[in-house]
Structure 1
Amino acid sequence: MSKIKISNAVKKYGSNTVISGLNLDIRDGELFTLLGPSGCGKTTLLRMIAGFNSIEGGDFYFNERRINDIDPSRRNIGMVFQNYAIFPHMTVRQNVEFGLKNRKIPKSQVTAEAQRFLKLMQIDQYADRLPENLSGGQQQRVALARALAIRPDVLLMDEPLSNLDAKLRLEMRQAIRDIQKEVGITTVYVTHDQEEAMSISDTIAVMKDGVIQHLGTPKDIYQRPRNLFVATFIGRTNVLEGEYRDGKLRLDQGYLLQNGMWDKIGDQPLKVSVRPEEIVIADGETGLRGTVLDSIYLGLNTHYIIRLSGGEKIELIQESTMEELIPAGTAVNLMVKKEKINLFTGDGSRNLLRGEAS
């Protein structure tokens, strides 16, 4: 296994610089996710680690070993792709044995190692089947078993679940996390799916335009995103215009909030991020005033779309009850859980509630 260090990485395609001066440290044994929208540079960076893309600048290390000029076949990596990339003419067992045989390992050891990972991935009962007789989830388990059987120092996974249906994605992401923890291999995982990243990762790097916007745990990124892009990309949020003045936060139509932790912010216009679950429908006349536009019942939770009296449209999520849904056109008063909201500079570039060392 290996820790990964990337120092001042640069990637160019002609005159177009995709990644410029990126620095990153990935701990030995952690499940690290590169997350971001299409074109943000996450797969490009993964392919630089793998050796499939050239490196125009910077240094890449596995432990103390600089890998920039090492051929991909000699980096001792396992790779899992979104299209599985297993051999259709080979049985499941033969696919898992393939990398082991290429390493000239004794036959008895090849058989034992392949069987171990077939059992670990819960596909040993399919060992003699061809891939065409497997489901998508089973094929992906074959690809993962093949990648792990060679005992790589680093496992790289590029959108491995994107071709699966919703139910299989849920099953496979739990399987990947469980197996990664059992094997303890350093894993770099690429996805654009926020929920997927949140559910499996030890650490997430949120990327945009080749730049890491926030590096942290899933909880840290969700609760205290570094900037407005991260807040809006990770999960759902409502973005309101606000103003901090005289120790109070003013929102729509004069709704005021006060909190001692905001005292050092200073008077200025703000972007205010409020998660849908951090808004509650309240009794009485105080709070944000709005009108229900629509309701969406999703079993455990109900989502309400509400237009505030100032014209802004927001989303609210509350636990479903046995009571009737609030009909469209109903006037409501809303309270905000002030300790959970995030306050950003007017341009959205910085979260004012994060400490200097955060």
Structure 2
Amino acid sequence: MRTYLDFEKPIADLEVRLVEMKKLAGTSNVDVTEAVASLEVSIEKLRKEIFDNLTRWQRVQLSRHPDRPYTLDYISLMGGQFIELHGDRTVRDDPAMVGGFVDIDGQTVMLIGQQKGRNTKQRQQRNFGMANPEGYRKALRLMKLAEKFNKPIVTMIDTPGAYPGLEAEERGQGEAIARNLKEMFMLQVPVICIVIGEGASGGALGIGIGDRVLMLENTWYSVISPENCSTILWRSWDYKEQAAEAMKLSARDMEKNKLVDGIIEEPQGGAHTDHAEMARRIKKTILDTIAELAHFTPEERIDQRIEKFCSMGVVVE
């Protein structure tokens, strides 16, 4: 059964009526064809009206939708054979960070991403998509492996942040993320980063340095979540909507401020309404971007990568 967010309630009410009307048509001789068609038009019109005018907080809610596809969902829908690789060769494997070689229409890429869970057990296993230091070290190991075999790298970002536990700090969480930032700038192969859900803080940036950084339409990318920002500024989570507006964390804001290179449009209603279509759009974007980046030499890509990130936040008067 589909999950509806608060602002989708008017749509949910109409869809319940539609189901009841179709059920009536199947159990009686009443002709409701015109009424069904009219109601379907009304639903589509209402859905377009709501989703064309989403607030930033509503987009944050969509980025966390429980039915939204995660990294492994996209891998399954986009690719052929997927060879998942495990471990950082130092501590252990981190289930919050997944990665491996995947075949996308004949193009082999190293795909790395954060992975959340669908139910309580999976969420605990995946640590809610919050990677430990070994997760970032695993990601870097896989990137270096891709570089060795001259394969493009695609990262999928979806995390509320790196795991902030004491044991993570003791094992060098900050150092692991910092090393990834440094090493990703110097990778010889094309690197494409896609925010598919939440893009929070260094947890996102740890796999977010690329030649092209893209965001799905209903995602967010910021140094802090709206709730935590509200807690710091107002000592309460109650102002998270105002915080989201002030932070300007949506994909449109990021593109306008030249912090990301592009936006991948989602199906009407969000990525969770049509996993296959969303995967198709991401796959096309990945293949098109790899073809575009192939025209540059490794040295040119590295120079452009460094220039892009170094120019962020620079103001000239």
Question: Would you say same fold, with TM above 0.5?
Answer: no
Larger radius of gyration: 1
> Quick check: which one's strand share is greater?
1
> Quick check: which one's helix share is greater?
2
Report the TM-score, using the length of structure 2 for normalisation. 0.30
